[in-house]
Amino acid sequence: MNPPIDPRPCSACKSGVSQPFPFTMAFQPIVDVEAGKIFAYEALVRGKNGESAGSILGQVTEVNRYSFDQSCRVKAISLASQLGLAETGARLSINFMPAAIYSPAACIQLTLTTAREFRFPLDRLIFEITEAEQVADRQHLRNIVTEYRKYGFKMALDDFGAGYCGMALLADLPTDIVKLDMELTRNLPQRPAALAIVRAMVGLAKALGCELVAEGVETVEEYTAIRNCGIRLMQGYLLAKPGFETLPGFTLPSLESFAELTRMPVRLDEQGRLAFSSKAVLGGRS
């Protein structure tokens, strides 16, 4: 049973919560390539005419940060619900700004109200903590995570390996999902050190009991190396581009594309990994 909605308003919301400036959302699939289905859709902020995320985030200030963060949650949940995301069985992943949260128990109330208004299951919500935002108060962030997990939300550490704190933040926070930044996955087969790090992260994630998502997958070579490391959740243009106010489908690379790439017969093994006629290549295990 979900905890009751706290009637106490957040002190930062006395004047109401409204969009500080116009924006909307695009949605990009996070694909379970082993199961062949969409694990989640990440909500990505866009301008009303499809302008980039950067053009929108550039308008965020200390003055409007709270209302922007709250408005993003409302827009993501309401639009995803209108598009029928809940009926797909996928989760909804929302980026949030820890610095915009004054009181975790109070500031979550609008999110809960919106989810219940649109009958969106609370246990299908993922909140992504971006490493791009330096966390000055680690205890405050722990309090946020603790409060959010009470409602069944999954917590994800976004852009892992590209921003602040990295391993220290992972060690301090209960985390359900770690999203490997594209700086790690880019040209992975040609970068032995990056490949070793990704392989080590697979073992670390298993030990911590969390899922790994490989971000920025854009080529068949990257897909092959990542899959043969044992990662099943992927996000990137190779599989699907963000859909502006839509829920796009996805396309997996064909076996023919792998055969052309490797010049070898290719099949899938019992775990859904790529199997070649000789020793594994492109970052796979020998």
pLDDT band at 286; cut points 50, 70, 90: very low
Spatial separation of the C-alpha atoms in residues 147 and 104, rounded to whole Å: 6
What is the DSSP code string of the chain? -PPPPP-PPPGGGTT----SS--EEEEEEEEETTTTEEEEEEEEEE-TTS--HHHHHTT--TTTHHHHHHHHHHHHHHHHHHTTHHHHT-EEEEEE-GGG-S-HHHHTHHHHHHHHHTT--GGGEEEEEETTS--S-HHHHHHHHHHHHTTT-EEEEEEETTSSSTHHHHHHS--SEEEE-HHHHTTGGG-HHHHHHHHHHHHHHHHHT-EEEE----SHHHHHHHHHTT--EE-STTT-PPEETS-----PPPHHHHHHHHTS-EEE-TTS-EEESSS--TT---
- Over the stretch 53-105, which tens digit does the pLDDT of each residue have? 999 999 999 899 999 999 999 999 999 999 999 999 999 999 998 888 889 99
Residue 98's pLDDT is: 87
User: Per-residue pLDDT for 264 more than 80?
Assistant: no
Per-chain mean pLDDT for the chain: 85
- Over the stretch 26-45, which tens digit does the pLDDT of each residue have? 999 999 999 999 999 999 99
pLDDT band at 161; cut points 50, 70, 90: confident
User: Per-residue pLDDT for 182 more than 50?
Assistant: yes
pLDDT band at 9; cut points 50, 70, 90: very low
Domains and CATH numbers, the chain: 23-253 (3.20.20.450)
- Over the stretch 201-258, which tens digit does the pLDDT of each residue have? 999 999 999 999 999 999 999 999 999 999 999 999 999 999 999 999 999 987 556 5
